[in-house]
Amino acid sequence: MNQPTETSGQLFVIVIDETYGGDEETWEADSERYRRQLEQEFEAVFQEVNVGPGADIPAFLTEVINARVPLWSAALVTFFAGKRIKENLDAWTEMAYALRRFFARPIILARHGAAVLALEAVFDELGGMPKVVRLVRYRAGHLEEDGSPAQADLGDGIEENPPTLNLGYVVHLFEIEADGVFFRVSVDGKRAQVWRSA
């Protein structure tokens, strides 16, 4: 199975196949019906993917944004370049709104969707939109890592997006500067946690 990886300017949403683990004899047909239901519900094309390395976690992937939404794509590219963002911060709120449409389903996000939720958590922690934000560090951690995400080793830079196959076991770890205040944020699925750095 071809496993796409989220690239610059894209934002994937991955919906876990809720039919998996049911009747083995009808699973393929049930899964296909579920995919078509998702396409009808969200008016988007979904492709089959697997997000479980070593243990299958069947899912369906759709692309929420791509180069056809240039402002959103540019915001993602600038953020992951580690540059200060002073303009169009409302684009992040718009992207969060687009992601929230999927929250009634069990979802997994790749790096860009996780960044949207991380920034939304920072905005909430600040009580509003800051004047400037910057990604300081990013790392894809493993769900089974010891310790609090607030204390996790984030490395010394901005890592690339993890392969789609690994996303079922990934927690996204960010260090974000907003108006001179540093925050650590972990994103697991659709749940973001934020801590102010000391």
pLDDT in tens, 69-110: 678 888 999 999 999 999 889 889 989 999 999 999 999 999
Mean pLDDT of 131-157: 84
128 assigned to some structural domain: yes
Q: How many domains does the chain have?
A: 1
At residue 159, the pLDDT reads 93
Overall pTM surpassing 0.85 (yes/no): yes
1 assigned to some structural domain: no
- H helices of the chain, where? 27-42, 70-80, 90-100, 111-126
Q: What sign does the dihedral 35-39-42-45 (CA atoms) show?
A: positive
Q: Alpha-carbon distance 92 to 182, whole Å?
A: 18
- Neighbouring CB atoms inside 10 A of 104's CB total 9
At residue 131, the pLDDT reads 96
46 assigned to some structural domain: yes
64 assigned to some structural domain: yes
5 assigned to some structural domain: no
Q: Alpha-carbon distance 160 to 92, whole Å?
A: 20
3-state secondary structure of 151: helix
2 assigned to some structural domain: no
111 assigned to some structural domain: yes
Range(s) of the domain holding residue 113: 11-196
Per-residue pLDDT of 27-62, as tens digits, reads: 899 999 999 999 999 999 999 999 998 888 999 999
